[in-house]
Amino acid sequence: MLEIVKVEKKGIGEELGFEVGDKIISVNGVEVEDFIDVVYMNGEEELSLVVQSVSGDIVEVEFEKDQDQSLGLEFLDESKIRVCKNKCAFCFVDQLPCNMRESLYVKDDDWRYSLMCGNYVTLTNLTDKDLERICKYKISPLYISVHAYDNEVRLSLVKNPNTKKLFEYMDKMGSVGIKMHTQIVLCKGINDGAVLRETVEELGKLSYVSSIAVVPVGLTAHREGLYPLSAVDRECASQAIDICESAKKLGINVYCSDETYLRAERELPEYSYYEEFDQIENGVGLIRKFEKEYKDRLIGESLVSGEFGIITGVSAKSVMEKAGEYLSKLGDIKITVYPIVNDFFGHSVTVAGLVTGGDIIKQLGGLDLPREMLVPRVMLKEFDTVFLDGVTIEKLEKELGRKISIIDSDGEGFARFFVKK
């Protein structure tokens, strides 16, 4: 059952007399299991709900609505997240240091969150019932971690024999019209070179695969006792780009992440190359999108003046310097970029999203900084002002003796900060 915790004013649910505390037992004769059933309900035009009211009475409610109309109900979902059963050689959670937030150590591999949040899943913990629900509801799109077309290579990375069922599951889901975005975590000497070429070409033959992303493996300094992996270097990254760009010319919708181009020290493709930006969450086309967004937002605007410092990761240094130069041409603005070397996770980790407050304090404390320092929101816990290591924005302000402002990580939000209110 799903318990109603909120009824929107003037919504369908309110019109039908639903109240907070009512519980949905079944939808169109099917027992309700979790929030996926709510997604299904919102997409149906004819519904028959069996409901247990707050008073305990069991009633059946039948009604019709437009397909794009929401029920206007929010539910308490008590279903547990499906945890990962793999022992992936590249698992980032296994590479985290101790004494961080407990939630950071949760390894999820839940197909339901693939639909709702775009999380990538391996399908190794999929049950027959799960597959039946996915196909029945036509859950689409899903985000699938493939890593290698060859079963043995994929098994060597995922360390779960159930991975050999991957393409059987994908074919079954694809046969009912489900679309999939796929990713390949690139590991030097394992699934690069000829293996990568085969994986890209075989995925390109599958009509239900909407896109493919190739992302270099992320390695921290905390890999004691873990499977030995080498970082994707310039040569490996460059080879991957050549493979993917050749495949894209043949009509295969495959992309290398921005990080791959940075490691290869090669120019990023133009904005139009990324088409619908289907793999933006994988860092594919993120830089070009950021550039276009801030330039579009600044057209015809009056800007603030002053000196600002931007804190970022090592890999984004040139991107932010370029943005600062663009701003300086439009107004009386001076930007200094402060790339933070990641001592906390290891120097091979260069993205802004994994910069910690402690590293910022250690590297910038005592410097003659601009009066206002900018921190991208991606460095902080969602809906909070805490870095991964527990340092708060308030502590950072105290330690640096400067005002700290949080800026949105997208180009439009970045530009908005400098527009006069």
Residue 2's nearest CA partner among 69, 62, 71, 64 is 71
Domains of the chain, first to last: 2-76 (2.30.42.10), 93-284 (3.80.30.10), 290-417 (3.40.50)
Amino acid 100: pLDDT: 83
| pLDDT tens readout for residues 299-355 | 999 999 999 999 999 999 999 999 999 999 999 999 999 999 999 999 999 999 999
Work out the angle at residue 350's Cα, subtended by the Cα atoms of residues 86 and 417, and round it to the nearest 5 degrees.
115
| pLDDT tens readout for residues 23-41 | 999 988 888 888 888 777 7
- Burial 175-202, CB ≥16 within 10 A → b, else e: eeebbbbbbbbbbbebbbeebbbbbbbe
Distance CA 122, CA 27 (A): 29
Number of residues assigned to the chain: 421
- Burial 255-290, CB ≥16 within 10 A → b, else e: bbbbbbbbbbebebbeeeebeeebbebbbbbbbbbb
Task: Tell me how far the alpha carbon of residue 367 is from its chain's centroid.
Answer: 34
Would you state the torsion angle of the CA atoms of residues 125, 129, 135, 136, taken in this order, to the nearest 10 degrees?
A: -150
| pLDDT tens readout for residues 349-362 | 999 999 999 999 99
* pTM of this prediction exceeds 0.75: yes
